[in-house]
Amino acid sequence: MHTVGKVTEAERDRVQQRTLRVVMLGQVLGGAGLAAGVTVGALLAEQMMHTKGLAGVPAALFTLGSALAAYLVGRISQRSGRRLGLGLGFAAGGLGAAGVVLAAALDNVPLLFVALFVYGAGTATNLQARYAGADLATAATRGRAVSVALVSTTLGAVAGPNLVEPLGGLARHLGLPALAGPFLLAAVAYLTAGIVLFTMLRPDPLLLARALEAQRPVSAEGEGPTRTGRTAYAGAAVMVITQTRNTEILTLPAGCHGSYLACWYGWDTVARRKRHR
């Protein structure tokens, strides 16, 4: 068992640096899993349902799944630490992605909807994982720790969509619909991220930070404000509004008739002009 009373500031910094490296790896994997599946979710639904009228359903489902998972992962993390909460969250996201692949193989729309809902757990977990890198950070370095984790997510998010074409080829080689390919990557990436965080995030940063905080002398000043007020509610309202726009963007590919990658980046018109030259 970890002896919290003997942890010095130097040892805390060492654990924090190791924790941040583990979180960065998990964020790269999580970002790849998120972007790969989200890129083609609407297109896969359109292909299976033979209509564009329900193109927004996939984004709505994994957004709802993400909201529920955010609450559950947060509760588990508060009770049992980041390792268990993040590990279970990414595992659920990976199983959801695998379920999407199975639904595509069976051409089963109800299974697709259920799997997309579960797949949303990976999104919420990936968002929460970055804060594990800040649990042991000081007030002066907390913002930088979260920023480093965010940049790591971006690396995975950039790689994911660029692998859509080769993953589509792999899916066809396996006898699956091409649009199921990115979800193969999502399943592997999410499950690997869960394993990495569960096995390597030791000692648990949230539990260690909580124990260290409990042993500190009581201070009237503290490190910063902890109250929840109007600013928090305003921030939540902004997130709701921006998520509405984000959902619109995620359903954009289903309305395009050219290359889905070009459409995703808003280059569909350019691609058409090139084909007519």
102: domain CATH number is: 1.20.1250.20
Contact between 22 and 197 (Cβ < 8 Å)? yes
Is pLDDT at 235 greater than 80 in this prediction?
A: no
Is pLDDT at 213 greater than 90 in this prediction?
A: no
Helix (H) or strand (E) holding 49: helix 9-49
Distance CA 115, CA 117 (A): 5
- Total number of domains in the chain: 1
pLDDT digits (tens, 9 = 90+) for 40-68: 888 888 888 887 777 778 888 888 999 99
221 falls within a domain: no
227 falls within a domain: no
- Which residues lie closer than 8 Å to 208 by C-beta, 6 or more apart? 2, 4, 7, 15, 135, 136
Is pLDDT at 277 greater than 70 in this prediction?
A: no
66 falls within a domain: yes
220 falls within a domain: no
Q: What is the mean pLDDT of residues 87-93?
A: 96
What pTM value is reported for the model? 0.80
pLDDT digits (tens, 9 = 90+) for 128-184: 998 898 888 888 888 888 888 888 888 887 877 778 788 888 989 999 999 899 999
Q: What is the mean pLDDT of residues 214-238?
A: 63
